[in-house]
Amino acid sequence: MTWPLEAVWEQSVALLPGLTAELLPEIDSTNSELMRRARAGQLDPVVLVAEQQTAGRGRLGRPWQSEPGASLTFSAGRVLEPRSWWGLSLAVGLAIAEALHPSIRLKWPNDLWVGEAKLGGILIETASAGPDSQARYAIVGVGLNVLPRPAHGLSTPPAFLQQVCPGMDAGAALLAVVPALVGALQRFEAEGFGPFHDAFARRDVLAGRPVRLSDGTEGVAQGVDGQGALLVHTAAGPVAVTSSEVSVRPAD
């Protein structure tokens, strides 16, 4: 497969001057690589694509498995100075879903779903951007299944992009997604989660469904608030879930 890296760069650099786009045949994890670079003082905006990750990481310390040609794995890094970081993964997920297909839905806080199966996930990490700065270097890692993959070891069955976008390969997905993602980061930095709220709500997998949180809380999901917190109606009353350490599953 040929990667449309030049086109990705051309369509994104106007939004983010100084951006570079880079492809690596193999790396442990694109997020880990950008974290190493940031800690070494390299804070320039970059999109780093890996054909193969040997130690891909998901949220909550989970591994992220991917196969060359059957997956899209990349990270975007840039200095970001939002007023609040709440809701960033929701804004990123929304930008990706909108760039790919109307039927892709979002499962708070960082998953892309097709039907009841997981199409992909987002892992956001940040590094210091200097001693005096409120800003941080944001590393936004995106993993998407492009072709079918084995379900063993996964808590949610896998979906794949070609279910909803027949013929779309990883390169075409990258070209669709990166300019949208870069634009969403700009908007999030300037305006926060607010402008993304209503469009997120239209794709919210959990809204109106019984859910169980990893801390044992059970209730009915009621959408997200203006900050991107998950609202859950429990027997003890309404709860706003903000912790990124909590995982949530439909319980119906």
Asked if 171 touches ligand BTN (CB under 6 A), the answer is: no
Is 126 a binding residue for ligand BTN by CB under 6 A? The answer is no
What does DSSP say about strands 20-24 and 46-50: parallel, antiparallel, or unpaired? parallel
Considering only residues 199 through 228, tell me which ones interact with ligand BTN, judged by CB under 6 A: none
Residue (of 174, 236, 205) closest to 107 by Cα position: 205
Lateral strand order in the sheet of 117-128: 20-24, 46-50, 71-80, 136-145, 117-128, 111-114, 105-107
Q: Is 179 in the site for ligand BTN (CB under 6 A)?
A: no
Under the criterion CB under 6 A, does residue 183 sit at the interface with ligand BTN?
A: no
Shortest distance, position 177 Cβ to ligand BTN, whole Å: 12
By the rule CB under 6 A, 77 interacts with ligand BTN: no
Q: Which one of residues 38, 46, 64, 89 is an interface residue with ligand BTN (CB under 6 A)?
A: 64
Per CB under 6 A, the list member of 87, 141, 219, 228 interacting with ligand BTN is 141
Closest separation in Å from C-beta 140 to ligand BTN: 9
Residue 76 or 222: the one with the smaller Cβ distance to ligand BTN is 76
Q: Beta-strand (E) ranges in 129-182?
A: 136-145
Helix (H, G, I), strand (E, B) or coil at 175: helix
**Cα torsion 181, 182, 187, 188: sign:** positive
